[in-house]
Structure 1
Amino acid sequence: MEPEKIKESIIRAAKELFRKYGYHKTSVNEIARKARMAKATIYKYFESKEQILDAILMNYLDLNLHEILKNKAQFANEEEHLTALVMKTCRLTYTVCNEFIGWDFVRENANSQDFLKHLSDQLESLLLSAYLELDHFKHNPSRKEGLAFLLKASKSICFSFAFTSVS
């Protein structure tokens, strides 16, 4: 089997198990069993379960990035468009935590803050580079700075509520 097909199989199995049982309750052994391959094969392609999750999330973000950026014409002005971009970014961030990671992992795992910081930094970088390709940001430094600030702020808001206790 081709290396890309093997990675896709691992990612597909892990995604299904993470959604069903949560990240924290899924083992690499279970991923290997679901993907119908040896545990050693998993580790040949991914150093850790966290790397598998990272690959899942980056694939998910890449796929959704095009949706976030399209349909600029439906907005009356740049302010409405930017507001919609920030809201979609927040929804995407929430979906990532809700569907793939699980809130229990976020609140209970000692490493989750570091992991979420890494994830949110990647998300911010990915979105910033994509947004800067839009015409109204390309040639205007002040808009670029404003966009960078808004992305950083929305990222912080989205991820900070993950650590708020729920009654």
Structure 2
Amino acid sequence: MPMLDVHLPEGAITAGAEAALVERLTEILIRAEGFDPADPVTRAASWVFVHRPAAVYVGGPRADAPRYKVVATVPEGQLPAAARAEVVAEVTAAVLDAEAGAWPRDPGRVWVFPTEIPDGSWGGHGGIRPLAVILERLTGSDRRQAEALASRRIAASRTERTRMPS
């Protein structure tokens, strides 16, 4: 159930390339969360917001080539470290591919921020949606199975964070 904020500077890529990029980014995030990108229920819960900065500045002056920022937001427990690393690499490649050679292929112009929202803080449908409720909907499992899966994913995520270097 990813929410993507994609910052695409005006004129950086063509409209057709943008549509293909949004599709590719959606699939990358759905797969990273462990779901089938072709599943209509999962796709309906995956939103992309395209932001169009009129200009991007680097260190004061206007950037000499487009700069991109992609913020991938998911519920806590949905992106373990390996998945976050894959998301960063795949999103970076997708953005640079969308330029179709119009600019030098420089991954330093693409910043990707995979972000987990703490369980109990994801809001939708007018209320808080804990991961268990989200997983119940997306996996089609019963409440008990979804709660067990959510507990395992959240515990793993929290354990992983405590092991991360400061």
Same-fold call, TM cutoff 0.5: no
Structure having the larger proportion of residues in helix: 1
Question: What's the TM-score, normalizing by structure 1?
Answer: 0.31
Question: What's the TM-score, normalizing by structure 2?
Answer: 0.31
